[in-house]
Amino acid sequence: MLIAASVGFQLGYGSAAVDPSAPPSVCGLVRPAVLDILVPGHGALTAEEAAEPGWSGTSCRAEGPPNAQGASLFVALTRYGRNEEGEGPRCADRPGALTLPVNRTNHPVPIGDVGTYFFGRGDQPDGHVVHLSSCLGTYGVYVRYEARGVTAPAIVAAATTVAREVLASL
């Protein structure tokens, strides 16, 4: 009987949903000086919070003036819990935690437990859009950064810096 109770407990625990506590506001985790450098002349930051069963998150958006360099930055921080299917809270083990492209080249980036980035299509010939996602423990970070007139390595370095800022503050 004791063995049956133990097995029943393990099966029940493995499939139980446990919602995580909300992560800190991601806008407060990126230093203002970094935002000022990456998105010159940005206006007020736009922050949002969201939660679904099994995860909770915050996001922050900085937009540059429309007539300037057209830089914009979006950062999201997600915290995972155990979901209904019994998936654990470790971000790197969760399907969909990393933003992976279907028709673009995916590049690894050494950040957190696992990190990856890919380039989107900019609407300008000299525009670059990078999508970077990384996992560290129960946290996932997603950065979308767009800037015109910069090299591909520079825009990747900028997005990586933002992700490191967030992860270092946790």
Asked if residue 111 is part of any domain, the answer here is: yes
Q: Where are the alpha helices (DSSP H) in the chain?
A: 2-15, 32-38, 152-169
Q: What is the CA radius of gyration of the chain?
A: 18
Asked if residue 86 is part of any domain, the answer here is: yes
- Residues 6 or more apart whose CB falls under 8 angstroms from that of 96 comprise none
Q: Among 44-48, 87-91, 109-113, which stretch is predicted with the lowest mean pLDDT?
A: 87-91
Give the Cβ contact number of residue 108 at 10 Å: 9
Asked if residue 1 is part of any domain, the answer here is: no
Asked if residue 80 is part of any domain, the answer here is: yes
- What pLDDT was estimated at residue 11? 42
Closest CA to 133 of 91, 168, 80: 91
Read off the pTM: 0.85
Q: Where are the alpha helices (DSSP H) in 16-101?
A: 32-38
147 - beta bridge partners?
Answer: 128
Asked if residue 40 is part of any domain, the answer here is: yes
Give pLDDT tens digits for 28-42.
999 999 999 999 999
- Residues 6 or more apart whose CB falls under 8 angstroms from that of 106 comprise 100, 116, 117, 118
Asked if residue 11 is part of any domain, the answer here is: no
82 - beta bridge partners?
Answer: 18
Structural domain span for residue 163: 17-169
- Domain tally, the chain: 1
- What pLDDT was estimated at residue 12? 44
Give pLDDT tens digits for 74-96.
999 999 998 877 788 999 998 88
Asked if residue 81 is part of any domain, the answer here is: yes
- What pLDDT was estimated at residue 15? 53
Q: Kindly report the CATH number assigned to the domain that includes residue 88.
A: 3.40.1000
Whether 115 contacts 134, CB under 8 Å: yes
Asked if residue 8 is part of any domain, the answer here is: no
